[in-house]
Amino acid sequence: EVQLVESGGGLVQPGGSLRLSCAASGFAFRDYDMHWVRRPTGKGLEWVSSIGPAGDTYYPGSVKGRFTISRENAKNSFYLQMNSLRAGDTAVYYCAREGKGDYNDAFDIWGQGTMVTISS
């Protein structure tokens, strides 16, 4: 079964750090672009970062310089290191797979989400 499972969410004080993990199974992980997407409470979906098979990374301006995405193909896993966290980063964080071929640029597989709360 194709599956993504997030872990690492929790409560952190403003200015703190947190590392999220996403474990993949059921597909050739090393061949896919992988993403993090978040949904702040009461708001819509927001793309957070992506990493290609070769390790190329991309971020929106809202997290660039604070968040770092990485991957470990040998462990079928990728990560999101979040630093200098702010209240506005409070959200459910999802990991997602970008499809290939006809599904290129679409997120065809999603994890169940992990909650990150930034509060003092």
Element (H, E) at 10: strand 10-12
Is residue 107 within the footprint of another protein (CB under 8 A)?
yes
Q: Provide, rounded to whole angstroms, the least separation between the CB of residue 115 and another protein.
A: 11
* Identified binder of another protein from the candidate list 12, 50, 63, 71, rule CB under 8 A: 50
How far apart, in whole angstroms, are the C-alpha atoms of residue 96 and residue 93?
10
Is residue 45 within the footprint of another protein (CB under 8 A)?
yes
Q: To 5 degrees, how large is the angle CA 55–CA 44–CA 111?
A: 50
Neighbouring CB atoms inside 10 A of 26's CB total 11
Is residue 87 within the footprint of another protein (CB under 8 A)?
no
Kindly list the residues in this chain that would bind another protein in the complex (CB under 8 A): 35, 37, 39, 44-47, 50, 58, 60-61, 94, 99, 102-108, 110-113
